[in-house]
Structures are given as structure tokens and as C-alpha cells.
Amino acid sequence: MERLVHTNPGRTILLLVAQVSVLTLICPAQQTQVSKPSVVSSLSELRSDDAGERAEAYEQLRSDPSAIHSPKVQTALLDLLDREEHVIESTLRGSHEQVGVSDKYGEGYGEYVAELADTVNSFADWNDPHQACILVHESYNPDSRFAAEIASHWKTAIPCLVKMYGSDVGLTRGQAAPVLVRALTYSRDGLDPATLQAVRGIIVRALHDPHEAVRGNTVEALGSFGGEDMIPTLKAVAETDPSPEVQGHSIRKSASQAIAAIQKRGGGQ
């Protein structure tokens, strides 16, 4: 009898082979604790003297959809925007317009205020003169979408812009005058004669304002939105504006370009 011995050696099955790259790292993480203040504490921090804390509190509130719909929060943010506008203007005033908030606090401050203004604009009532004036006083470019929105709310905005033009800060007047030019395009048939006269007077005065920004911005606004009735005044600016030409740029040249633009449009204020 043949003895059968059938031995199968142990079979090893490789179930998994993992190639592991072990990472070599440079430096460990550093942590910063994230605070999650309540709405109440955020509202309190909106009144902080520290601009960074105010901005952080605003971010906290903005990120809370339920908070942002609260009338109490909305009132606080409107008040905050009002106060930040005063910070911006007083910073300019205190430095004879040589130092702005972006120099003093950093450009992030301007970003914060601009975002705050957009937030406030999302719920503000433009028919309320107080709220409208806070929005009008925000810092913005006179050729911006926001300036266009201000102009479109001319009924409540024009009184604010007229008051704003009375500021002793040139850059504040330099925002108000060009937006008044723009507002006239919306209010053509609705403005009472006295107010219309007052606005036109401001625009003409702005073209001879001692501050270059006021003259330059107003000339540009007239180039975009002005009527033929402004051409004689612009001609005078093109001939007599005192600012020198710098690297090929001057208010006189801008005035000539504005006249050409108005003529091309065929007037229409």
C-alpha cells in the first residue's frame, strides 16, 4: 500500500501592502482660540474703542442669519456705520487729509466698513432720512454702484448730499458733489425749483472748490452724467483750473474730455 502524504505548505496570503510615506514636517501648528460670543456680547463689543474688536463683533453678527434679522442688531449696525463714518472723517480732518484710516488702522479697516455698509444697505429704509443720511455719508467711489444707488434714492439722499458738501473735509465734499451730479439725472422732473437751484449752485461751486479732489471728481461726473448747460462752466475749468499737469494728467484735460463726452451724448440733463 502506498502511503499518501499530501502536504500543502502553509500559504501566506498577502492581504494588504501599504506603502507609507512618512511625512517630515517643518513646524508644529499654532493655535488660536476662537471665541464664540453671544449676540449680546457682540452688540456690546460693537461699542469697543478697539476697531479690530468692533470689526470682529460685526463679523460674528453678520455670520448669524437669525441675528442679522433682529431689529436690535440692525439698529446697532446702523449706529456702528454712523460712528465709523465719523472715525473716517475725523481721521482725515485731524491730519489735514494726509492720513486716512487705511494708514491709521490698515486697509482691512476700509474693507470692514465697506462690508458693514453693504450689510446695512441690505436692510436699511431709504425712505427714512436718518438712515438714508448714514448710508450717504459712507465712504465710496463717486462712480461706484453704491453711488448710483444713492442717486436713485434722490428724494432722501439729496438733502444729505447737500449737507455733506458743507463739510470742512475736502474728500467728503469730493464725494458729495459728483453724486449730486448723478442724482440730478434721476430727479430731473421731481425736484422742486429751489432745491434744483441749490444743487446746481453746489455743482458750479464744486468746479472751483479749493480741493483738487472736489474739482476733479465733479468734472468727471459731469463728463458721465452732465448736461449741455454745464459746458460753459466746464470750458472755464478747461482754461483756468489752477492744478498743474502731472504725467500728462490734469483737471483741465479732464474738463475738455467731459465737454467732448457731453457733446457726444447730445446733452440730456
Partner 1 sequence: VEIILGAELSTYCSLPGGCATTATETSSSGSSGASSLANLITNADQGVLLSFQAVEGSQSQTTNVYCYAPGCPNEIPWELTSHTGGSNPGVINSYLATISSGGGVSLATLNLPGQQGPIQPVLQRADTSYIGTASTSSGNLMMAFTPGNILWTVPNDAPKIATADGGIIGTSGTTYDSNGKASGQTATSIQSWTGSESGIAYQYGSVDQVALTPPVIYTVPPFWSFAGANQSGSNTSALCHDDRDKLITEYPKYNAGYLPICFASEFVPASNAQPTFHFTFAELNTSDIHFSPPDVPDWAILRAVLLSGLENTRANYGGQAITINSAYRSPLVQNAVSPLFPHDRHIHGDAADMATSSSQMIWNSLHNAAITAGACVEPEAQSTVNHVHADWRSGCPAGWRK
Give residues 71-90 in contact with partner 1 (rule: CB under 8 A): 88-89
Q: How far apart are the first and last CA of the chain?
A: 122
40 binds partner 1 (CB under 8 A): no
Query: Contact, 228 vs 185, CB < 8 A?
Result: no
CB 192 within 8 A of CB 150: no
Stretch that binds partner 1, among 13-21, 73-81, 226-234, 258-266 (CB under 8 A): 13-21
**Residues of span 118-137 touching partner 1 by CB under 8 A:** 118, 121
Question: Alpha-carbon distance 245 to 250, whole Å?
Answer: 4
Report the interhelical angle of 107-123 vs 145-152 (nearest 10°): 30
182 and 225 in contact (C-beta within 8 Å)? yes
Residue 5, interface with partner 1 (CB under 8 A)?
Answer: yes
Site residues for partner 1, window 154-213 (CB under 8 A)? 171-172, 174-175, 212-213
Among 40, 49, 65, 189, binds partner 1 (CB under 8 A): 65
- Are the C-beta atoms of 172 and 131 separated by less than 8 Å? no
Q: Smaller CB distance to partner 1: residue 191 or 221?
A: 221
Judged by beta carbon, residue 134 or residue 251, the one nearer partner 1 is 251
Q: Which is nearer to partner 1, 150 or 191 (CB)?
A: 150
Question: What is the smallest separation between the CB atom of 9 and partner 1, expressed in angstroms?
Answer: 8
